[in-house]
Amino acid sequence: MTAAARKSFHAIKAEMARRIAERVWAPGALIPGEEVLAVEFGCARATVNRALQELARGGVLVRKRKAGTRVALHPMREARFVIPIVRQEIENKGGVYQFRLLSNGVEKAPECVTKRLGLGKPKDMLHVRCLHLSDDKPYQYEDRWINLDAVPSIRHETFETISPNEWLVTHSPFSQAEIVFHAGLAGADEADTLSLDENDPVFIIERLTYLPQKPITFVRMIHPGSHRMVTQL
């Protein structure tokens, strides 16, 4: 059983997950210490530790020094969504991707934008609007403001062959981001762009990205109401 012993931390993790799922270890209960489990599973404490830590990171266990490890009372599970490039998202679904540049130029950003980015008063920013299409049908309307101080080299990009989304992903990293999802109604501009009627429902994703101390971009991505964001866990 050397082979089995050699991948024991996965096996141990799985076994412990099973005990939690099947209530052998009830929610809130204190589970045995690492040393005890190490003896039970016939392995080193470090191996048990790794399994426990991964489960704790997954939220099903709560660990506290000296207090011990207990099964999470409310397994506040978390869903993970990949934040793909729109093109990939569309192509993964089997659609043919295209995008249209609607406008591209430096403008004075309204206060609602600069405020969200933590920039004080209205200032000149690069404003790019474009439409992403899947099989010639409007898929996402992207309305983006870019902080030229953070990414000066973007100023002269034409976005004729690459979308601003993709340009930023490949040219500008970020260290922090905030993402907001909500529902809304299509305004005149959005309805027109997305071939919807006014007051049709739309699914809105707003994303703010930052480098330490420097806001980079604020983008509103608007999908028709038929859009579904799906995840498994």
| Contact pick of 19, 58, 63, 85 for DNA (by CB under 7 A) | 63
How far is CA 7 from each of CA 16, 47, 51, 120, rounded to the nearest angstrom? 15, 10, 11, 54
Counting residues that bind a second copy (by CB under 8 A) gives: 51
Instruction: Establish if 6 lies at the interface with DNA (CB under 7 A).
Output: yes
Binding mask of the shown chain, residues 129 to 168, with x at each position contacting DNA by CB under 7 A: ----------------------------------------
Q: Least separation, in Å, of the C-beta of 48 and a second copy?
A: 16
| Cβ nearer to a second copy, comparing 146 with 202 | 202
190 touches, from DNA, a second copy, none (C-beta below 5 to 8 Å by class): none
Instruction: Establish if 1 lies at the interface with DNA (CB under 7 A).
Output: no
Token representation of residue 203: 């699914």
Contacts of 80 (CB under 8 A, 6+ apart): 231, 233
| Cβ nearer to a second copy, comparing 157 with 206 | 206
Task: Pick the piece of the chain touching DNA (CB under 7 A) from 1-9, 126-134, 163-171, 189-197.
Answer: 1-9
Per-residue three-class SS string for 118-171: CCCCCCEEEEEEEEEEECCEEEEEEEEEECCCCCHHHHHCCCCCCCHHHHHHHH
Counting residues that bind DNA (by CB under 7 A) gives: 29
| Cβ nearer to DNA, comparing 68 with 184 | 68
Total residue count of the chain as it appears in this document: 233
| CA nearest neighbour of 67 among 30, 36, 40, 35 | 30
Contacts of 4 (CB under 8 A, 6+ apart): 11
DSSP 7: T
Token representation of residue 142: 């992207």
Q: How close are the terminal C-alpha atoms of the chain, in Å?
A: 32
Binding mask of the shown chain, residues 10 to 49, with x at each position contacting DNA by CB under 7 A: x----------------------xxx------xxxxxx-x
177 touches, from a second copy, DNA, none (C-beta below 5 to 8 Å by class): a second copy
Return residues touching DNA (CB under 7 A): 2-3, 5-10, 33-35, 42-47, 49-50, 52-53, 56, 63-69
